[in-house]
Structures are given as C-alpha cells and as structure tokens.
Structure 1
Amino acid sequence: MAGKISMRAKREITSALAERYRASGRLEKGRILDELCAVAGWHRKHAIRALSADGASGSAVPRRRGRTYGASIRMALIVLWDSSDRLCSKRLVAMIPFLLPALERHGRLKLSADERSKVLRVSAATIDRLLSDVRIAAAGGRRRRAGFSSAVRRQVPVRTFNDWGSPPPGYCEADLVAHGGMSVSGAFIQTLTMVDVATGWTECFPLVVREAALVVEALERAQNLFPWPVCGLDFDNDSAFMNDTVVSWCRSHDVEVTRSRAYKKNDQAFVEQKNGAIVRRLVGYGRFEGIDAARSLARLFAAARLHINFFQPSFKLKEKHREGAKVIKRYLPPATPYERALVHPHLNEAFKRRLREIYRTLDPVALLAQMRDAQNELGKRVDQRAGKPAMTVAPVQSDLTAFARELGDGWKQGEQRGIHRRRYVRRKPAPRRPSMLDPYIPMIEEWLAAAPHLSAVDLLSRLAAHAPGQFSGHQRRTVQRLVKNWRSKVARQLISSTETILSFQASLAV
C-alpha cells in the first residue's frame, strides 16, 4: 500500500495519529509507528519526527540539553593541543592520558576533579568542534583547501587496467615524460606520449613547457595524425591533464575522459611501457631546453612514428591468471600496430586502405637514417642551456647510400649514439700529491744504482737509519712503488741503448 497514497493523505493520517501518539505509552507508540510506516512507506525515524511535531508550527519540538564542556574544558584542550605540537584530534585523544599528568605535575595546567574527568573522556569529534576556530586562526585565518585540480579530478571517472576489456581503436592512454636530466628545476621539455590500447599505435609530441594549453595543442595535432578518430583518453592524476582546460576540450570534442588511480602505474600499463621502450630509447635521459631542442625532438618523433608503427612489432597481453603466489601471463604473437589495425574487425575499411597506401611509400632504411640524424643533432644539445645563439646546431643530413652500406658493419662500433651518455674523459692530468720521500729520491736512486738487488725493506731500513723517527713500516708500499718505477725506467733505457748499438753495427756491416 506504501506509495499509493498522496502526500496530502499522508499528512492527514499523521495529523490524526499525532495527538494519540504523544499521549500513549511505549508499547502503544510502537504499534502506531508500525502502522504508519506500513501505510506511508516512511522510515521509522522520519515517522517519529512527523508524529512528534508541534501541531501549531508543524516542526518537531527540539530537545533541550545542557552544555557538557564549558569554557574551562575548551581552554584546557587548547593548552593540551598546543603542548602536543598541534597534533590532530585522533592522535591528541590517545596522548591526553600521558600529557595531562605531565602538565599537572609541573604546574602547567590546574583542573578540578570534575574537569579532569571530562578532559580524559573527551572524544576526537568534540575536540574538532571545540578547536575549529582556534585552528583556523592559527593557520592565518584560512581553512586548508584542496588544489584547483581536485575539483576537476573528482568529476573524471576512474578506469583501471582490468576495465579496458577489448576497446575499439581510438581509445588511448596518455602520459608525460620529463626530459629534465638530473634536475627537475626550471623549465624543460616534456614529451606527451599517446598509445592506442587496441592496436598499440603510438604518437609522441614534444612540449616546450608543461602547460595545459600546449597539451591541448598536442591533442589537436594527435587527432590529425592518428589514422582513426580519437574517441577516448585515459590520463593519470597529473595536474597538467586534470584541469579545466584539457578536460573541457575533451568533452567539447566528444572525447571520453577517464583517469587512473593515484599511485597505481599499472592502470596505465600500455603507455608506461612505451615511455621506456620508445621515448627513453630514442631520446635518452639527458636534459633538453628551448624551442630549438623541441624542433629537433619533433624531427625525431616524425620519423620514428612511421618506423615504429609500421615496422616494429610488439607483444600484447592475451590473458593472465594467478596460481597461488605466481601470476602466469600469455601473450599474442608479436605484431606491428599496422598489422593489428588491418585485422581489427571494428576498424573502417577506408582507414585500412589509407594505411596500406602509406605503407607502400615507406622506406625503413630512410626512416632509420632520419632518426639517426635527429639523434646526432640532439646529442649536441643535450644538457645545454637554451637561449644562447652559440648553442644553435644545424640539422645533420647523412648520405642515405652510405648509411645503408654501413648497416651491416655498424655493430662493430657498439651501441653508441648521439643521445647516449658520454664516458667521462679527464682533460687535465690528475695532480700528484707531495710525498715525504721526495727529498730522499736522489739518495735512493744512488743506492739502487750501486746495488740494484736492494729490496724495499732494505731501503726503508737505510732511510730509518739516515733520518731517525721519520720512517717506519707504514712507508713500505710507497718505497716498493718507487723501486718498481726505477727498475722499469732503467730497463727501458737499457733496451733503447741496445737497439741503438745493434742498428749502428748493422750500418757498419752494410
């Protein structure tokens, strides 16, 4: 019967039962409440409030209760809160039984027996209520507020790795890769990486600075570069994405926006693996700044996108299941994003035809040569400050025929590329520390010239006799190195003199 009567009828029934309800005992009130809840479909608490309402004003009669914690208790809590270095209320409640006796013992706080019992049984919620204005004043008159991106973040739904399923082409994950080198201070270039979940198609865009407007420009360019329309974007919780500029742009272009969970990188596993396998492998870990370096990165990504998406196969997870503590993963056969797009059933045939036309015009060796040229150009800009005319580097153009000829022999020079970190080469000779043996070196050389068989122990004993108190067994290793160097020098002199004599005798024989 609940829900079949009007609100006017419910009010009439309540008005008829209210006077009898207020005059009844406990058992009779329970029967009246059961009857009203069954007829009106109300919750029991709502029925109690409606039957307890004052007939003249139509509002429930407020229950009057005296204040439990007065001004003295509030002042004591302020002292305790300040003495605890302003802890939160839940930690302060646990600390009061230990802190209060210590303050009373040293005369910092004086409470009566009743006040002391109230302070000891106060709850964390009561402390928050009594000290709310005190905390605001201590914080400079401002409440702690969440960042601007938090409001936008709450409007974007969360999507985990398991929520993807098998989406059609057009649903992408996006992430930023910082090119700040060993420091994140100042402004440096960042790469926006976008990966299609269904096919693995990857696009990279360099951003001169980390700014929402530049992210939107990169997304607009991505719509033109992707072979199919972008239908959805999954971001992390970065404020560069979780802002009104980027989210509003996506919604105005009918692009579904989702985000990963905070501190759960596996939710964006598709783009995270491309950050290392593509961006870091192509660019490295150096620092890049300025517009010129961004242009070089754009050249590199323009050639790499075709080489990666058409000629570089990658693995894709087929299934995974857990057996006890072990997770078993099975992968599909390696395939390029181009191959996955051609066989995908949800992709329009017009898009597949366009991909085949692009594939017939591509030369993988020419693309690889363009990538190497851009990498060599970036290698001259890595870890250099932007904005100086002397830093300008002209694009390198290599001979395609010579590059193709060296493909079979390039492995002999190792994996060194222009973007790789250089090995440290010391330009200045290491300074030699002065030795206590320096004043005695001529004397030692005379002893060795007279008796080459002398050992370091013999020489050290002679030095101790010559300069008492200066030498001990701790200098034995130093004397051994000195003897070794002297014998090597004498041996080289002997060999060179022998060669001179032999050449002289050979000239006489002729």
Structure 2
Amino acid sequence: MKDFDMELTQKFAMQYAKANKKEKSNLLDEYCNLAYVKRNTAAQRIRRVRRAVYPGVLKTNRYQKKRGPKRIFTNRHKFILKLCWKQGRDICAERLYPQLRVYIKQLQKHTDNLDFYNKEEIDKVKNISLISCKRIIADFPKEKRSKSKKAEGIYSLVPVEADFSRQTKRPGNLEIDYVEHNGGSARGSFAISGNYVDIATGWISRAASLNKSLSSVEYIHSKALSKIYHIPRKFHPDNARTILKHLYAENDDMAVNPMKFSISRSRPYEKNDNPHVEQKNDDKIRKLVGYYRFDKKEQVNLLNEVYDIADLIDNFFSASAKLKFKVKRADGKTIKRIHSKPKTPYRRLMLNRHLDKETKGQLRTMYNGLNLVELNTKLDKKLKDLVHSLDDKQYDLTG
C-alpha cells in the first residue's frame, strides 16, 4: 500500500468508525473512486486499520471503560456479605437477607473481622437489596457434597474386597451369607439360615436361628464354625450389620481369637462379590427346605437337624467340579468353560498340602464312620417332619 493510500485509509477509517449505515456506504463509494479499488478491497483495508493490523496507522484506546451501570458493590462489600453468609452456614439469599443485620452485629460484637472496614461500607451492606444479595451470593464457591453416603460405623472399620472369590489356593477363606425364611412377608419374627462356604474346597456349613438379632447371629456363627474342622483365616460376609459387628468384636478379643483372623466385606448390592455362597443359597438351602415361612422354635430346631445331616452328605459324599478357566473369542465372549475333575470337599481337604495331619486324621475317622444310606433316610424323615410343621395356608397336605 502506497503512502497516499495509507493516509487516505487512516482518514476514512476514523470517519467510518463514527458513521451510521448509510454514511458508511457513501464513504466506501468515495474511497473506491479516490483509490481506484473495488468495494471489497476498500472495506478490507478499512477493517485492517480498525483492527490495528498496522498499529501506527490508527491509535485506539486499549483501556476503554466498560459499558453499563457503575458498580455499586466492590470486593470489600462482597467480603463482608460472605462473612455473614458463612455465619448462616451457606444458606440461600432469601434466608440470609432478613438476618443480615443480626449477623453483622454478631460479627462486630464477638470478632474483629469487620475492624478493617469503615462504617460506610458496613452500612451499604446492611441496606443491600434482596436482588443484589442473590446476585452476589450466586458467585460464592459452594461446598461440594458427595452424592454417595460415606461409610459409617462398622462399615468404616471393615474394608471392602471385590475379588475375594479368587482366593482358591488355601482353605480357610469363608464366604458368609444369610437366607430369610419369611414366606414372602417380612412382618414379625421368622427364621434365618447362615450359610458358610469355603472357597478353596467347597466345604459348607449351615445353621439356623430365630430373628435377625445379634444373639441369633452369634448362635449361627458358633454352630456353623463347630462343623468346620480347619482353621478359618478370613471371613467375607455381605453388608449385614449384625454379622459384621460380631466378627469385628470377636476379632478384637485376643482371648476368643488368638489367631487373629481377618475380615472383609463385599460391595453393596454386588452379589458377584460372593459368587460361591450365593450359588449355594439356592442349591443347598432353597432347594432343600423351600421358600416356606418358618417362625416357630420347633421349626428352627428341625432346620438345624436337617442342616446337620445335609452338611455331612454334601461335604463327604457330594462331588462338585470347580471352574479352571474360560475359553474366549477375540471379542471377549465366553464360548467354553473348562472344569476340573469333580471331587468332594472332603477329598479336596485331604489332598490340600496346607492342612495339618491331625485334622486330616480327624476327618478320615469321621468319614469311615458315616453311612450314606442311613443319612439319606434320616434326612428324608426330617424334611417330612419340617413340611408337616407348616400351617395349612402354606402347604396343603392333601394336595
């Protein structure tokens, strides 16, 4: 661009900035006639000058005043309001506004936070309007509160372990769960069954009691452990408070628990964290005693007698296969599951190198003294007695 064109562009750019729409069109026509350029070129040159592409051509004020009304409340006023807002425990403006003078009076009386502000600034905050109060408070940083509830009480003391079911090498890692026998109604008292399953061997121990109180859970726990002959190393129940409290108290008592077993729990609402015991709940409890309601002491005693016999059959004579690995396709879909040779829990304990010889000898003596035919006969009789103890509404004996 020549010097003449530069001076001409500067002159027209200053006029262009102050002109209205019609005057701008006339200025562009006049510039095109003088500079011998097209209209688009003229508009582009003026636009470059106005955008300060050539800083020396057009001087502009970089620090222009902001448009709009003048600010009434400065940062000092906002800080006074924030102190009052904090005294109100981060309440909304509608609740803060009626008590604003009270909060300022309390701050002046009991703290020195307002000593750095003059009387005019404090009075201006006292006389603030509700709309201004809402607008200023909206910019204050709010405390972020987690949507999920934090672990409280016993839940904060017992750690969560999602992959507990992978501990399949050494016996003594027990999954625990409870099954309710309420017949579809949670009203009143009813029986519950505790199900203890060893992950490594599949050894199962069941016991029943009335109600879900701490004393009932303690009874189930002691009775179930009396039928487990190897040393428990770790317990893994779900999030039931009663069993967690009992296990934690027992673990904390050195006289009761000199071995100091460990405790963990599954994630809330995640049944896959306890897959072995969840499968046994259906196979070893529901299919055995059904979905009836048991709410009498006589029925609880019959349940325990049934479990005592069924535990011997399942642990010493009932073989089961364990999953070794899965064959998957490239997209991750399982196409085949490879299982180990079926063995009884008793056989797995006898073959396990971590079990001491004394315990193996005790189990061998028990096995040699068992009669499978006699056990099945007793079990059928106890199950028949359990069914006959039901109310006519639950079970029609003539049907």
> What is the correspondence of 1:225-374 to structure 2 with a 5 Å cutoff?
225-243=227-245, 245-252=246-253, 253=257, 254-320=260-326, 323=329, 324-327=331-334, 329-374=337-382
Which residue of 79, 84, 89 maps to 1:66? 79
CA contact (8 A) 1:215 1:246 kept: no
Distance of 2:357 and 2:218 partners within structure 1: 29
> What is the correspondence of 1:181-220 to structure 2 with a 5 Å cutoff?
181-220=183-222
CA contact (8 A) 1:288 1:383 kept: no
> What is the correspondence of 1:412-427 to structure 2 with a 5 Å cutoff?
none
Distance of 2:317 and 2:188 partners within structure 1: 37
* Per-residue deviation, 1:342: 1.5
1:304 alignment partner, SS class: helix
CA contact (8 A) 1:175 1:235 kept: yes
Unaligned runs of 5+ in 2: 1-75, 98-127
1:417 corresponds to which residue?
A: none
2:106 corresponds to which residue?
A: none
Percent identity among equivalent residues?
26
Q: Deviations over 1:4-59 (max 9, x none)?
A: xxxxxxxxxxxxxxxxxxxxxxxxxxxxxxxxxxxxxxxxxxxxxxxxxxxxxxxx
Distance of 2:208 and 2:243 partners within structure 1: 15
Which residue of 114, 136, 152 maps to 2:132? 114
Q: Deviations over 1:316-349 (max 9, x none)?
A: 1222465424135432122111111111121112
1:214–1:75 Cα change, 3 Å? closer
> What is the correspondence of 1:3-152 to structure 2 with a 5 Å cutoff?
66-69=79-82, 76-78=93-95, 114-125=132-143, 150-152=152-154
CA contact (8 A) 1:196 1:202 kept: yes
Higher relative contact order (CA 8 A, sep 6+): 2
Distance of 1:288 and 1:365 partners within structure 2: 28
Q: Deviations over 1:76-127 (max 9, x none)?
A: 34399xxxxxxxxxxxxxxxxxxxxxxxxxxxxx95653343254344339x
1:200 alignment partner, SS class: coil
Distance of 1:382 and 1:355 partners within structure 2: 36
1:186 alignment partner, SS class: coil
1:186–1:119 Cα change, 3 Å? same
> What is the correspondence of 1:425-444 to structure 2 with a 5 Å cutoff?
none
Q: Deviations over 1:283-338 (max 9, x none)?
A: 10000012111111111111111111111111212224654241354321221111
Greater fraction helix: 1
CA contact (8 A) 1:161 1:269 kept: no
* Per-residue deviation, 1:65: 8.6
What TM-score does the superposition give when structure 1 sets the normalisation length? 0.50
CA contact (8 A) 2:174 2:234 kept: yes
> What is the correspondence of 1:343-492 to structure 2 with a 5 Å cutoff?
343-383=351-391
Distance of 1:64 and 1:380 partners within structure 2: 81
1:370–1:176 Cα change, 3 Å? same
2:281 alignment partner, SS class: helix
Unaligned runs of 5+ in 1: 1-62, 81-109, 129-145, 386-419, 426-510
Code of the aligned partner of 1:358: M
Counting matched residue pairs gives 280
* Per-residue deviation, 1:230: 1.9
* Per-residue deviation, 1:421: 5.8
Distance of 1:74 and 1:210 partners within structure 2: 42
Distance of 1:421 and 1:78 partners within structure 2: 62
CA contact (8 A) 1:287 1:383 kept: no
1:169 corresponds to which residue?
A: 171
Distance of 1:283 and 1:229 partners within structure 2: 29
Q: Deviations over 1:158-211 (max 9, x none)?
A: 222356333421221111010001101111000011011111010100111212
Code of the aligned partner of 1:67: I
CA contact (8 A) 2:195 2:281 kept: yes
Alpha carbon RMSD of aligned pairs, Å? 3.3
CA contact (8 A) 1:161 1:266 kept: no
Distance of 2:155 and 2:138 partners within structure 1: 41
Code of the aligned partner of 1:293: Q
Distance of 2:261 and 2:199 partners within structure 1: 15
Distance of 1:282 and 1:118 partners within structure 2: 68
CA contact (8 A) 2:209 2:219 kept: no
Code of the aligned partner of 1:220: S
Code of the aligned partner of 2:197: V
CA contact (8 A) 1:318 1:331 kept: yes
* Per-residue deviation, 1:423: 9.2
CA contact (8 A) 2:165 2:199 kept: no
What TM-score does the superposition give when structure 2 sets the normalisation length? 0.62
* Per-residue deviation, 1:264: 1.0
Distance of 2:397 and 2:226 partners within structure 1: 41
Distance of 1:75 and 1:358 partners within structure 2: 72
Distance of 1:260 and 1:268 partners within structure 2: 7
* Per-residue deviation, 1:75: 6.0
